[in-house]
Amino acid sequence: MAMKLNGVEIEDTFAEAFSMHMNRTLITAYDRDWAKTTALEATGFATSVIGAPAEAGIEYILHKGDTPDNRPGVRVIIGTMKKSSLEEQIMSRISQCVLTSPTANAYDETPEPRETYPIGKMLSKFGDGYQTKKGPIGGRVLWLIPRMSGTFIVQESFGRMKGVAGGNIICFFKDTGGGMEGGQAAVQAIQKVEGAYTPFPGGLVGSGSKPSSKYGGLPASTNERYCPTLSAQVETTEVPRGCNFVLEIVINGISEQAVARAMGVAVQEVCNATGALKITAGNFGGALGKHQIHLHDLNL
């Protein structure tokens, strides 16, 4: 059975999400724009583990008084399917994208970590003997590493937690303009939800896929049932009449509750968008993950 919000149909279905190993890192810098620039670099090439080494994105923006060094900060989350891959991803992204960024620092913000990795301790060797260990300060052991733009401050250890990935909504619109406007408004709303993030470019997915292909060895391919240009060619289509643009918004987070809250605000924004026709969610009947987030159970 379907329900409607502002005349937009919301299908009675669920987003199928799965567990992922995650780290939450806080990046600070001399102003908010530079902290965000650094965070975008640190979360690059991390959209889908189908082909990228991680799923990462900006979670939340913090003000000066809410960070360890009283500077503006941006929290990012990095997720991997394999536990063994997470340490490498944290190390490479902080060393190559945060250490190299003028004025940027990095602190661990992982809640209740299951284990920790000595990222800062290993990075301290970049100081070539001039590095200094401090702390604990506010419960954090820190390494101070000299660099041309000033001292790089990095926490000694970064944690691993179990998070939830693959929350999603699929949105049908009359045209591209309304779809992009509605999709971007939804992502802006998600950015205000602590504990959730969107790993794809600008938070939007234009190439929703299915986990199979007619070509051997290819793990995923276009989901033809959701392609408006194929609606007259395929045997079964999910594209409603009058729809010319489809977007998916994939949401990961530190918990199922955080992902569900983010899905809820995203649905509300899409239903306020011009030309929105319908919202559904992607699932594979429970075969992919243990988390089922039902659209009709969201706080709409």
Omega of the bond leading into 136 within 30 degrees of 0 (cis): yes
Residues 91 and 188 in one domain: no
Residues 151, 25, single domain; the answer is yes
**Mean pLDDT for the chain overall:** 96
Domain of residue 233, CATH code: 3.30.70.520
> DSSP letter string over 203-237?
G-BS--EES--SSTT---EE-GGG-GGGTTTSSS-
Q: Rounded to an integer, what distance in angstroms lies between the CA atom of residue 289 and that of residue 234?
A: 27
Instruction: Assess whether 227 and 113 both reside in one domain.
Output: no
Q: Are residues 214 and 234 in the same domain?
A: yes
- Say whether both 105 and 166 belong to one domain: no
Both 224 and 139 in a single domain? no
Instruction: Examine the fold and report which residue of 133, 161, 189 is the final residue of a domain before the chain moves on.
Output: 161
- Is 167 found in the same domain as 154? no
| 127 and 229 belong to one structural domain | no
The first and second tokens of residue 2, run together, are: 């379907």
pLDDT in tens, 132-165: 999 899 899 999 999 999 999 999 999 999 999 9
Residue 211 has pLDDT above 90, yes or no: no
- What is the domain range of residue 100? 21-161
Last residue of a domain, one of 111, 136, 161: 161
Residue 144 sits in the same domain as residue 249: no
Residue 266 and residue 256 share a domain: yes
Determine the distance from the C-alpha atom of residue 118 to the mean position of all C-alpha atoms in its chain, rounded to a whole number: 24
Identify the CA nearest to 182 among candidates 268, 244, 295.
268
pLDDT at 210 (0 to 100):
86
Given a cut of 80, whether residue 275 has pLDDT beyond it is yes
Do 172 and 42 fall within a single domain?
Answer: no
Instruction: From 161, 180, 214, give the residue that closes a domain.
Output: 161
Same domain, 25 and 12: no
pLDDT > 90: percent of the chain: 93
Number of domains in the chain: 2
pTM: 0.94
pLDDT at 1 (0 to 100)? 64
In this prediction, residue 288 has a pLDDT band, given cuts at 50, 70 and 90, of confident
Closest CA to 250 of 18, 13, 3: 18
Average pLDDT over residues 1-15: 91
